[in-house]
Amino acid sequence: MTVTAHTNIALIKYWGKKDSFLNLPTTSSLSLTLDRFYTTTSVTPTDAGTDTFVLNNQVSDATRVHTFLNILRTQLGDFPALHVSSDNHVPTSAGLASSASAFAALTGAVVTHLGLDLPNETLSRLARRGSGSASRSFFGHFAVWHEGVDDDSSFAESLQAPDMPIALIVAEVSGQSKKVGSSEGMMRAMTSPNYDDWIKQSANQFDDMTAAVANADIEKIGAIAEKNALAMHALNLTATRQPFTYFTDETQFILSIIKDMRRHQGILAYATLDAGPNVKIVTTITQAPQIVALLHDHLPQLKLDVALSGPGITYD
């Protein structure tokens, strides 16, 4: 059995943990699942005596997989060592976190292997322990991850939403930015004097975003997503412990082009950014080609992918 889970991009971000052991976030988050990028995973029993991991046909470091499988062993009951085989259809260089699709697919694969039939909300609780954003990758279209107050109440679920012609352009920024892992970045951001205000603002934006999604108002979805993401990145800059930024000069340049398109050409284009320099642009299916062409004029080398709304987890 092969399990497929797609990546998701948070439109309201998770950026801070109130419990780092359980991966309980400081805010609820809301995401769009993408059609183009996904992970396929299968698990089989192994005689190796320990969990093993092959990624894209290459034997890989199994430490993080093993740690996560041990969490599943305490949650679901002990099970023998497993061989995990995964293929990431997420270009690693695209700066899209493959951990979301990877831990969702792995959770689905293990639970099926054990012959258990659990609802996606329960799977999302389990996957959360591997990577917070993975909790949202079980659901197609839009998902919300409720921050919760404990292990049981922190899970994701589908956000009922009408079909809409939303598109997300991924601009793969070249050049190195500072590599700060998401957990480390969150810890630093939480030392910003603005952090408490960000939490409050995020709660309001979450409500506004939920309404915008229900109304299929892509303009509003983009506008709120951009505000939320830029405020998240401002926390990194204003951290009192080891302030940093994921932005490069090219990131800034792309952001200025997006603003320009919006102001002077009336194009619907809003940016969101995660734990890296790449820019993801919220727009409509019809306007995406124009944005791609304009960005290409300014930055001929820039790699651009257009993703649409994607499906939830599947089992073949």
* C-beta of 29 vs 283, nearer to ligand PMV: 29
Tell the smallest beta-carbon distance from residue 12 to ligand PMV (Å).
8
Tell the smallest beta-carbon distance from residue 18 to ligand PMV (Å).
14
* C-beta of 121 vs 260, nearer to ligand PMV: 121
Give the total residue count for the chain. Answer: 316
Tell the smallest beta-carbon distance from residue 271 to ligand PMV (Å).
14
Tell the smallest beta-carbon distance from residue 155 to ligand PMV (Å).
14
* C-beta of 124 vs 287, nearer to ligand PMV: 124
Instruction: Give counts: helices (H), strands (E), the chain.
Output: 8, 14
Measured distance CA(205)–CA(179) in Å, rounded: 28
Residues that bind ligand PMV (CB under 6 A): 10, 13-15, 29, 97, 99, 131-133, 182, 274-275
Tell the smallest beta-carbon distance from residue 275 to ligand PMV (Å).
5
* C-beta of 30 vs 261, nearer to ligand PMV: 30
| Long-range contacts of residues 180-185, Cβ cutoff 8 Å, at least 24 apart | 180/236, 180/244, 180/246, 180/275, 181/275, 182/97, 182/274, 182/275, 183/17, 183/20, 185/15, 185/236, 185/244, 185/246, 185/275
Instruction: Let me know: does 31 contact 142? Beta carbons within 8 Å.
Output: yes
Tell the smallest beta-carbon distance from residue 23 to ligand PMV (Å).
7
CA angle 236, 183, 225 (to 5 degrees): 55
Measured distance CA(202)–CA(219) in Å, rounded: 18
* C-beta of 53 vs 206, nearer to ligand PMV: 206
Q: Record the tokens describing residue 236, joined without a space.
A: 């990194």
Measured distance CA(45)–CA(82) in Å, rounded: 5
Measured distance CA(218)–CA(32) in Å, rounded: 12
* C-beta of 100 vs 111, nearer to ligand PMV: 100
